[in-house]
Structure 1
Amino acid sequence: MLQLNGCFARSSALRLAKDLAKNNRGARVLVVCVELSIAGFWAPTNHLDTLIIHAMFGDGAGVVIVGADTMHPVEQPMFEMVSASQTIIPGTQHVLGVKMGSYGVGGKVSTELYKLVADNIEPCLSEAFGPLDMGAQWNDLFWAVHPGAHGILDGIDKKLQLEPTKLAASRSVLRNFGNMFSATIIFVLDELRRRMDKEGERAEWGVMLGFGPGFTIETMVLHATGALNKN
């Protein structure tokens, strides 16, 4: 059980699940992410930061099954986790913080966050994809980005000059459900799967990005399996 890890908890859980599956032949690991933001609701009184926190975050739950050594044709995995890395940006502890007290949930989300993501996203991606020697452009990938806020997605779009459809799954989840902490990326992966099936985008390689306290950027390289083409 992982608790109080914020938005990137599901990245930690998925990395751990992959290790367990690869080291225990035939194992299937159930990853469950549950977030109940409403449980910590309290009156914002004079604290605008608290009002922003409650406006941004929502409740949600998502489930993923992780395994290795796929049993064909019974199992049809959608995505393969190729590699994962975590980058903590120095001197950014003040930028993002959520805490639980006797009064409920409070904290701060600084607007500095948006620039931090934009300034550091490309080095994180280059480090993750460099060993693969793919030579691919950012628009050649599919994207599962944790939609922490509109400003984060806008900053990534502008910095990497992505096509409008690349972050459509993340924007749709943010618009319809809000930021559900760790559960959000599971919603994004499901929305991405539906869009890839419906609209026919067949990018073979992709990236999953998560953000959290620290300030931390989680980068995971994904590979789309043939199962997407069969649905």
Structure 2
Amino acid sequence: MKSYICAIGTANPAHKIPQMQIAGFMAGALQFDAANTRKLNALYRISGIESRYTVLEDYSRANGDFEFFPNTAGLEPFPLVSQRMQAYRQHALPLSLEAVRNCFEQVDASDPRQKVTHLITVSCTGMYAPGLDIELVEALELPSHTERTSVNFMGCYAAFNALKLADNICKANAEANVLVVCTELCTLHFQKSVEHDHLVSNALFGDGAAAVWLSSKPQSGFNLAFEAFHCELVPSGKKDMAWHIGDFGFEMTLSAYIPELIKKGIKQFAERILDKLALKPEAINWFAIHPGGRKILEAIEQELGITKEDNRFAYQVLREFGNMSSVTVLFVLQKLLAELKPENDGEHVLSFAFGPGLTMEAMLLKICHVR
């Protein structure tokens, strides 16, 4: 029995901020002089990002008049974790609902809400209990017996774990319809630090949500059938990518060595998932790679011998939205789905994501077009 991604819906907050405007906010918050501001601007210009979305309008107000951050020099007293979690709880549900409604519009059912048997929520940027999963059940008026699972704090690859769980559920129960909802409010966790890791993470991450409908039965139109999954740990990168809860928000470790670590292992990693189906690299027609950053995408292209055109969906998402942690690869898959034509039926999609550990996740999908 197979399972299928039948629909993907996405959503972003109302505040779309140009990348260089965010750089201005950061330079002011860090109280940089002219020389350091020029260096920061250079970092933002080469990021490959043109704009990001945020639940905090403050990032568009470089001269103050803030609502979330204090209107003081240096933003002191800097917001505590409790304040950031309060903002997460305020904004996570509305954004999640927008993504779900966008997804439901694509589902071939008169009332998808009554068809949901399982709900999986994913986030690494906020948590509370009773949580987002219960709030979604109530707000969507899902059946009260909907089975719920939460995947928390696993970082940028977490959507893969949710999709693997949904795949197993659908294979075990032919009547299952699984709703996966990923919601990340990364911009709540701005760190007022001049450490390189924090400067880079401040330059990359944005906010977004995505909802996925999965079933053991494909629906009319384009579906993505799960063919194989593969996961590997690279322990030597454990300290290079990490995510910790500090006193003033969640703190990202993202070292400059990550692209090189991924480059060293990506070819063998790709071969191992292809071997599960006895496929050669040339059998892959499409790529859906998590855009963790421009250098990561370039490293993968060099090692696998693929072009920027092959990897265009990742670059498009990075350019328009930045890195939205677990949500991002679902945006990439949505861009890919929108470009498919009936003649692509049966072609293969290879997808990657990376996160703390250093964890490398891959999945192999097959395009299924139902007339």
Query: How does the TM-score come out when normalised to structure 1?
Result: 0.89
1:82 is the counterpart of 2:227: yes
Query: 2:364 maps to which residue?
Result: 221
- Aligned-partner Cα distance in 2 for 1:115–1:203: 33
The residue type paired with residue 199 of structure 2 is L
Q: Equivalents in 2 of 1:210, 1:68: separation in Å? A: 24
Instruction: Say if 2:220 and 2:369, in contact at 8 Å, map to a contact too.
Output: no
Report matched runs for 1:175-190 at 5 Å: 175-190=319-334
Looking at structure 1, the residues matched to 345 and 202 of structure 2 have their Cα atoms a distance apart, in angstroms, of 37
Selected match of 1:167 from 311, 323, 327: 311
* Shift, 1:132, TM fit: 1.6
TM-score normalized with structure 2 length:
0.57
Higher RCO (CA-CA < 8 Å; seq separation 6+): 1
Report if aligned partners of 2:157, 2:361 keep a CA contact under 8 Å in 1. yes
Provide Cα deviations, 1:187-219, integer angstroms capped at 9, x if missing partner: 000111123349x86770121101011111101
Q: Distance in 1 between matches of 2:345 and 2:173?
A: 31
Distance 1:203 1:211 in 2: 27
Describe the SS at the equivalent of 1:137: helix
Sort the Cα spacing of 1:203 and 1:176 in 2 relative to 1 into closer, same or farther, 3 A.
Answer: farther
Q: Secondary structure at the match of 1:54?
A: helix
1:52 to 200, 218, 226: 200
Shift of 1:149: 0.5
Q: Does 1:151 align with 2:295?
A: yes
State whether residues 203 and 224 of structure 1, in contact with CA within 8 Å, keep that contact through their aligned partners in structure 2.
yes
Q: How many residues align structurally?
A: 222
Alignment of 1:6-85 (within 5 A): 6-44=155-193, 46-70=194-218, 75-85=220-230
RMSD of aligned residue pairs (Cα, Å): 2.0
Cα pair 1:81 1:221 within 8 Å, conserved: yes
The answer to whether residue 277 in structure 2 is matched with residue 132 in structure 1 is yes
Q: Which runs of 4+ in 1 moved over 3 A?
A: 74-77, 200-203
Structure 2 unpaired stretches of 5+: 1-149
Give the Å deviation of 1:170: 0.3
Q: Output the CA distance in 2 between the equivalents of 1:134 and 1:14.
A: 22
Of the three residues 91, 94, 103, the one matched with 2:239 is 94
Q: Give the structure with higher Rg (CA).
A: 2
CA distance in 1, matches of 2:364, 2:242: 27
Q: 2:248 aligns with which of 103, 108, 122?
A: 103
Aligned residue identity for 1:212: G
Residues 40 and 100, structure 1, Cα contact 8 Å, conserved in 2: no
Q: Please tell me whether the aligned partners of residues 10 and 183 of structure 1 are also in contact (alpha carbons under 8 angstroms).
A: yes
1:201 and 1:166, CA in 2 relative to 1: closer, same or farther beyond 3 A? farther
Q: State the match for 1:141 in structure 2.
A: 285
User: In 2, distance between residues paired with 1:123 and 1:108?
Assistant: 25
AA aligned to 2:170 is A
Q: 1:3 and 2:138 equivalent?
A: no
> Contact conserved, 2:354 with 2:361, CA < 8 A, in 1?
yes
Residue 141 of structure 1: how far off its partner (Å): 2.4
CA distance change for structure 1 residues 202 and 66 in 2, over 3 Å: closer, same or farther? closer
Unaligned runs of 5+ in 1: none
Shift of residue 47, structure 1, vs aligned partner:
2.7
Q: Say yes or no: does 1:113 pair with 2:258.
A: yes
What amino acid is the match of 1:225? C
Contact 2:350-2:363 within 8 A present in 1 as well: yes
